Structure 1
Amino acid sequence: MEELMEELMEELRVELRVELMEELIEELKEELMEELRVELMEELMEELMEELTEELMEELMEELRVELMEELMEELMEELMEELRVELMEELMEELTEELMEELTEELMEELTEELMEELMEELRVELMEELMEELMEELMEELMEELMEELRVELMEELMEELMEELMEEARWCGARLRTEKSWFIIWFPPQTHNKIYSDCCRNMS
């Protein structure tokens, strides 16, 4: 009996040991599995976190890049628009200045042309008046000179004729006989229409 008991006890111990071992193994396995699971979860979580962080960082960087690009684009667009506005304003000012200058030039040219035309017309009128006055004065002077010369010529001729007649009459008193024979002398010194008159006057005075 004792042996049986011992055997039974031994078997029981063995069974218990086996069971305990199994239980321990199972517990250990569970613990290990839990640890492994935890570790794996941690690793996974770390990896996930890393990945997520990377993705998030990439997204964030992308967003930041996009925002920065948008801001830069906005700034650039503002600058460009400002430059364009300035250029457009300058061009508009140039065009307006050119148009104004053209209008002013046209107006000035018209005014200058009118003034010049008035001055030219005045100058021409004055010149024409002066020329007309000069011509009139010349004509008048010529006519007056002609009339004066004619009058002077007539007066001088009359005076000369009178003087000559007086001289001739004086001489005729002293040499009446010679005058009858020297009629040719009168032909040389007097015009033909006066020959007979002078000769007859001289002969009459001599008689």
Structure 2
Amino acid sequence: MDQRQALLRISIAEAIAVLTILCLLIGAIWAPWWVLEVVFFVVAMVALLAIAIACTATGEPRTFAAGFAIMLVGYLVLSMAMHAGLVRLSAYYFNKPPMTDLWDEAYELIRRDVYKYRDDGQAIPSSLEPYKDPQGYILDKQGNVLGIHGVTDGKLRGVQILSLPAASTYLVVGELLWALSLSYLGGKFVIGFRRYQENARKT
């Protein structure tokens, strides 16, 4: 009877948990900044918990936690070092991981600009298709002047342009998403490697 273990196994509960975390992270892109702070705190606690499990557990939970923690901490440290300009190869500095470039490319696909009057915060309806001309005037689709971008001179209402989701929030969520994804794959990889070794000993 073949007693070899499958190198990769994903239960239904595990798949649901992964998809739930993925949806929550993507939803955090449009959430207020304080929600993102909570998410970042939870990720930090997950990293510490994974390290604790890797040090105290036995069997496959310890193997998964070790792979998860090493990849998570390693990616976050490397990402922060790159953004700080500390990673250098010869004369070239790496200022961000390659995954960040892929994430940045997708930003323009979901970004939308919201035009709001500065005096009362009222949003200009998107049905008017507002846009800013080279002189800084905010016009509608028919060319009517709705206001002016920035501080008004008293003749026109000042308009501020907000990009949604905020670029800073989008970047942080992207880093966390890549970190957790690579950590999860790292944990699954080390478990698969452990099972491979155990299967090899049985043959």
TM range (shorter): under 0.3
Bigger proportion of residues as strand:
2
Bigger proportion of residues as helix:
1
Higher Cα radius of gyration? 1
Which structure ranks higher in relative contact order (CA pairs < 8 Å, sequence separation ≥ 6)?
Answer: 2
**TM-score normalised according to structure 2 size:** 0.23
**TM-score normalised according to structure 1 size:** 0.22
